[in-house]
Structure 1
Amino acid sequence: MKKIGFLSFGHWSNHPAYQARTASDTLLQSIDLAVAAEEIGLDGAYFRVHHFAAQLASPFPLLAAIGAKTSRIEIGTGVIDMRYENPLYMVEDAGAADIISGGRLQLGISRGSPEQVIEGWRYFGYAPEEGETDADMGRKKSLQFLDQLKGVGFAQPNPFPMFPNPPGLLRLEPHSEGLRDRIWWGAASNATAEWAAEKGMHLQSSTLKMDESGKPFHIQQAEQIRVYKEAWKKAGHQREPRVSVSRSIFALMNDQDRYFFGQDAKGGDKIGNIEKGKRAIFGRSYAGEPDQLIKELAQDEAIQEADTLLLTIPNTLGVDYNIHILSSILEHVAPGLGWR
């Protein structure tokens, strides 16, 4: 068994072929998509977070809305760039959204990735301290966030408060018990995957990672996952780690599918630079008839190592078509691989 969810980048654009032309379209369709995905038996609804772009940005209102309209499906992010966040305020937002959902949040966070503007986090009022990089700042904020999720009092109460205080130091509210154990780290390298394991975070590995060996993408990603699992074991955590990988997978069931994704059938891994001087490898997309997909996906070592698969979707094509994409994988591909 493998948990299967979708990952939406939440794009919108005033394009005649798009069903999501405005921010309102994307937000409301994201809720409808999560509801429909739960109905067909999908396990997770995950959303990217990008600032200064015509894409989803502030995740917690959306996650709370989905939590209120669903009852079973996991709800998460992949990932929140912590360079932009106030960790304490984020604890309150996350706690509220998790309580609304009944404890179904699975939050992916990260130190950040290339962005739309130069040092966008400065516009949000944040800057690294002297001697720090922006990545250092993102990791430090992540640790603050994790620490405050424990729900331990730390703030000195006012002796003359507006409302009576409980005894002792005060914590952030609302506190959601168990959320600390449902935080994931988006890792692009083996070293950051190992760090995430040491800190007790689950692992999200995307469709790209730093090229550390020149091997095919899925092999490098599988090696990253094994490094993570070994580090988790060595850290002595008393709970089981979880690992998700993201993939673009399209079963070509009709002419419309072939029109949209037929060109992806012969694609391979790609090499590029996501940051100056940093070589990255981007995993291939999978597209084909179900029997062909089953053969190809059975050779993907990283998918075999992961317990959760996030299917990236073209959200601009609308809810109905995306449910068709997801249903095709659940019904015609997943059983042949033992995922269902």
Structure 2
Amino acid sequence: MKKIGFLSFGHWANNPAYKTRTAGDTLLQSIDLAVAAEEIGLDGAYFRVHHFAQQLASPFPLLSAIGAKTSKIEIGTGVIDMRYENPLYMVEDAGAADLISEGRLQLGISRGSPEQVIDGWNYFGYQPAEGENDADMGRKKALDFLEGLKGEGFAEPNPYPMFPNPPGLLRVEPHSEGLRERIWWGAASNATAIWAAENGMHLQSSTLKFDENGKPFHVQQAEQIRLYKEAWKKAGHDREARVSVSRSIFAIVNEQDRYYFGGQGKGADSFGYIEQDKRAIFGKSYAAEPDKLIEELAQDEAIQEADTVLLTIPNTLGVDYNIHLLSSILEHVAPALNWR
């Protein structure tokens, strides 16, 4: 049994073929999509965060709006780039969004992905400390964020405050109990997956990772997940670890599906470089009639290791068509694979 969610990058552009031509279109349709996804029985609504691009960026207004209009579906990110974040301000925003959703946030965070601009975090007022790089900065901010989510007091109260203070050191408010245990780390390497486990974060593994041994993508990803689970067990956490993998999976059940995705099912893993010097492997897309799709997905080792599958969606095609795509997976594919 697996949880099944969608992952939207939230693209928009002034393109006549797009249903999302403006940022407003994308934000409002993202809310409608999450509501409709909950109605068909999907388990999660997740959103990518990219700065300096015509894509979704600041996640908490969107997550709060979705939380107010839904009641069951998990609401998350995949992922927030911590290099751009003020950890304590993020604790406040995340706490508020989680309280609005009544404890349904599943926040994926990470050190970040290749940038639209050079050192974009500098424009947000941040730079690595002396002797550190941007990845170090992102991981340090992640740990500060986790510490703030504990809800423990740390700030010296003003002896002459505007409002009466409770006794002792103060924490940032609002505090949402339990959110600390629903933070995920987006890991591109085996080492950072192990680091995430050691620090009590769930694991998000996407459709790319660093190429660490030349094996097929799903095999490398499965190895990463097993290392993560071993590290979680060794760390002695008193709760269950969760693991999600992202996949582009399209069931072709009509001619419109065939028009959009009929040529994508014959693909294979690909290799490339991110940030110039880091060789990465990119997982293939799956697109075929349901019977063929079931056969191919049954061989995906990483999906077998995960408890959650996030289906990447073409959000520019609009809410109705994306709900059709998601419904097709739920109806024609998931039961045969024992995901449901």
SS across alignment from 1:276: coil
After TM superposition, give the deviation of residue 88 of structure 1 in Å: 0.3
Letter of the structure 2 residue corresponding to residue 225 of structure 1: I
RMSD: 0.3
Q: What is the CA deviation profile of residues 158-188 of structure 1, one whole-angstrom value per residue up to 9, with x for unaligned ones?
A: 0000000000000010000000000000000
Question: Residues of 1 paired with 2:228 and 2:119: CA distance?
Answer: 30
Give the distance between the partners of 2:319 and 2:306, measured in 1 at CA: 27
Aligned to 1:7: 7
Partners of 1:262 and 1:135 lie apart in 2 by 39
| 1:98-156 Cα deviation digits (max 9, x unpaired) | 00000000000001110100000000000001100000000000000000100000000
Number of the residue aligned with 2:121: 121
CA distance in 2, matches of 1:112, 1:44: 22
Aligned to 1:268: 268
1:175 corresponds to: 175
Report the equivalent of 2:327.
Answer: 327
Shift of 1:274: 1.0
SS where residue 11 of structure 1 aligns?
A: coil
| Corresponding residue for residue 53 of structure 1 | 53
Question: Segments of 4+ in structure 1 off by > 4 A?
Answer: none
The DSSP-based 3-state class of the residue aligned with 1:264 is coil
Is 1:143 the counterpart of 2:143? The answer is yes
Separation in 2, partners of 1:48, 1:36: 19
- 1:203 aligns to 2:206 (yes or no): no
> After superposition, where does 1:294-309 map in structure 2 within 5 Å?
294-309=294-309
- After superposition, residues 33-182 of structure 1 pair within 5 angstroms as 33-182=33-182
| Deviation of 1:275 (Å) | 1.4
The one-letter code of the counterpart of 2:28 is: L
Q: Partners of 1:65 and 1:274 in 2: how far apart? A: 34
In the alignment of these two chains, the number of paired residues is 340
TM-score, structure 2 as length reference: 1.00
**Residue equivalent to 1:232:** 232
Q: Match of 1:257, as an amino acid?
A: D
The CA deviation at 1:248 is: 0.2
Gaps of 5+ in 2: none
Aligned-pair distance for 1:265? 1.1
Instruction: Give SS of 2:200's match.
Output: coil
Structure 2 Cα separation of the partners of residues 188 and 128 of structure 1:
20
Rounded Cα–Cα distance in structure 2 between residues aligned with 1:178 and 1:112: 24
User: Using the alignment, how far apart are the partners of 2:261 and 2:290 within structure 1?
Assistant: 14
Instruction: Tell me how far 1:277 sits from its aligned partner.
Output: 1.2
Deviation at 1:224, TM superposition (A): 0.1
Structure 2 partner of 1:286: 286
